[in-house]
Amino acid sequence: MSAVKWQAAGDLLREFQALGRASLLYDIQDSHSGNMAVRRTNERGQDEIVITATGSQKGDLEPSQICFLSATETDYGYYKASSETDIHARILALPGVRASMHAHLKDLILATLDDAPKPERPPDFVPVDPLARHHLGAAVPVDWFAVPSGSPELARVIPERLAAHPLTIIFGHGAMAKGRSLREAFFRLCVGNYAGAVVRSMERLRIDLGAVRSALAADPARALAAPPPDYEVEGDERSDFRDEEEILKEFVKAGHRVFESRLSPFHTGSMSVRGVATMLYAPKASMPREVGGPLLRVPLAPAPADDAETALHKAIYAGSDFQSVMHCHIAEAEAAAYYVYPGETAPADRIIPVDAEGSFLYLVIPVLPPDVPAAALIRALHDYKAVVVRGGGVWSVGGQSLSEVLHHPSSLREICIFRMGAVERGLDLRKMEPKKAKRW
């Protein structure tokens, strides 16, 4: 390049900074790990790669740590850019790919570790949750490398994997994802780590993971609820109620909390508030600070174009007097829905709190099958305010505000963590559960 720009400004810088901070907050990076890159046409009409500098802190990126490189030739900027620039350049050369991101997905890496001799290729990772199955596929490739960072072998294999998959795993190290935008690449990484967290939670609960995977392989449609919506790369800045400051503030606060409390991976889940003839709707409920997502006003009446997620929000309002609805994907709850008590053969149909606060708030949280009819789901929400759909996430409702409905998934996650901890310690959950919880 004739003139290399060393400082980013404006929207591009803010996007890198915001997603860098979000990745650190979501604990898929350490202080200096990972890298992000996008391919774009610059102001001079040239095709260029924008990438984080080597050794930069992704959670505290400075303008000087964003590098601008030629997409067609190596220039001296490469010496400042990430040590994995060659890999990103090859990924960004794939058809339709405009962004790539590398992160240290702790839960996913732990879920794929093994002690088998190397250099044999590890088995693919098989997710068991609806998010990863839909967005990442039925199997995610895993590769072992003698030099797992910046090596020629890595630069050859990773782009080959991403040509056929949204995300690929570097054994014992991390993962790389492609996307049409940087947000989509980050979304796929968060979904990947969530998939690892679900598997690890199942292992901690001593669930027969092999049996779960076999049932899923035999009949995916029966094992999982309706698939989540496809990821949309456009429209995140849309706000149909920008001038309604009070309710807008509630949506923003709730979105931050859903993301920060790990109640749903980035840009997953949904939340809504009922109006007279419309509902205010966030189809990407998990929203980090400085990133956001679309905030829509949609008719309450069903529409042919409604996806399954939107349609269920509308069905809940049509069959109840609830004022707010939230849908989350909580790793610990997804795993808990498959828990089988010792001596039994089928997963339990309820989650019973064993901690003091959980027991005070809820007698039980029902677990419903993946194909539960909307009417049965609404009846359970009337009785319990929060339910877990096996293979379909957590649905909760409120009579008033988003703050009220947010309390349910937040409490449920803690309930599941306490139960998981009890199982890990070898405690008998049956002895810890209130006797009255056995009666619905």
Domain identity same for 148 and 250: no
Yes or no: say if 394 and 386 are a contact pair by the CB < 8 Å rule.
yes
326 beta partners: 271, 396
pLDDT in tens, 237-291: 999 999 999 999 999 999 999 999 999 999 999 999 999 999 999 999 999 999 9
Residue whose tokens read 């809504």:
272
Q: Give pLDDT, residue 349.
A: 96
pLDDT (tens digit, 9 = 90+) per residue, 353-366?
999 999 999 999 99
Q: Specify whether 192 is located in the same domain as 323.
A: no
Least Cα distance to 135 among 329, 280, 279, 3 occurs for 329
Residue 200 lies in a domain: yes
Whole-angstrom Cα distance, residue 350 to residue 367?
5
Tell me how many degrees the CA angle 346-264-222 measures, rounded to the nearest 5.
35
Report the number of secondary-structure helices (H) and strands (E) in the chain.
15, 15
The band of 293, judged by pLDDT with boundaries at 50, 70 and 90, is: very high
Residues 177 and 189: beta-carbon distance below 8 Å: yes
β-bridge pairing 365-368 and 386-389:
parallel
> Does a structural domain hold residue 169?
yes
Give the DSSP letter of residue 321: -
Residue 405 lies in a domain: yes
pLDDT digit string (tens) for 193-202? 999 999 999 9
The C-alpha angle with vertex 327 and arms to 274 and 135, in degrees rounded to 5, equals 130
Is residue 58's pLDDT more than 90? no
Q: SS3 of 339, please?
A: coil
50 secondary structure, DSSP code: E
User: Within this chain, do residues 79 and 170 fall inside the same structural domain, yes or no?
Assistant: yes
120 assigned to some structural domain:
yes
**Residues 346 and 403 placed together within one structural domain of the fold:** yes
pLDDT score, position 7: 47
Could you tell me if residue 301 is inside a domain? yes
- Do 150 and 295 reside in the same domain of the chain? no
Interatomic CA distance for residues 194 and 264, integer angstroms: 8
Q: Is 76 contained in some domain?
A: yes
Q: Which two tokens stand for residue 168?
A: 């690929």
Mark whether 46 and 132 lie in a shared domain: yes
Domain boundary among 218, 235, 264: 218
pLDDT at 181 over 50: yes
Tokens of 80: 């400042």
**What is the tens place of the pLDDT at every residue in 402-412?**
999 999 999 99
Of the pLDDT bands very low, low, confident and very high (cuts 50, 70, 90), residue 74 is low
- Asked if the model's pLDDT at residue 81 lies above 70, the reply is no
pLDDT tier at 80, thresholds 50, 70, 90: low
Asked if residue 232 is part of any domain, the answer here is no
Question: In the chain, how many domains are there?
Answer: 2
My answer on whether 172 and 262 are in the same domain is no
Other beta carbons less than 10 A from residue 34's beta carbon: 25
Give the lowest-confidence range in 148-157, 192-201, 337-346, 390-399: 148-157
Which CATH number covers residue 26?
3.40.225.10
The verdict on 42 and 146 lying in the same domain is: yes
pLDDT of 2 higher than 50: no
Long-range pairs, 248-254, Cβ under 8 A, ≥24: 248/295, 250/401, 250/402, 250/403, 251/280, 251/282, 251/295, 251/402, 252/287, 252/292, 253/402, 253/403, 254/285, 254/326, 254/402, 254/403, 254/406
Rounded Cα distance between 273 and 372, Å, is 23
Spatial CA neighbour of 231 closest among 299, 167, 175, 145: 167
Q: Is 80 exceeded by the pLDDT of residue 50?
A: yes
Same domain for 168 and 249? no
Same domain (yes/no): 181, 268:
no
User: Where does a domain end: 218, 233, 266?
Assistant: 218
Looking at the structure, do residues 199 and 284 belong to the same domain, yes or no? no
Strand bridging mode 296-299 / 174-179:
unpaired
pTM passes above 0.85: yes
How far apart CA 334 and CA 236 sit, in angstroms, is 27
Asked whether residue 240 is domain-assigned, the answer is: no
Contact criterion met (CB below 8 Å) for 406 and 258: yes
Ordered strands of the 386-389 beta sheet: 296-299, 278-282, 270-274, 324-328, 393-398, 386-389, 365-368, 350-351
Residues 403-440: pLDDT tens digits? 999 999 999 999 999 999 999 999 999 999 998 877 76
Average predicted confidence (pLDDT) for the chain: 93
Domain that holds residue 252: 245-438
251 and 209 in one domain?
Answer: no
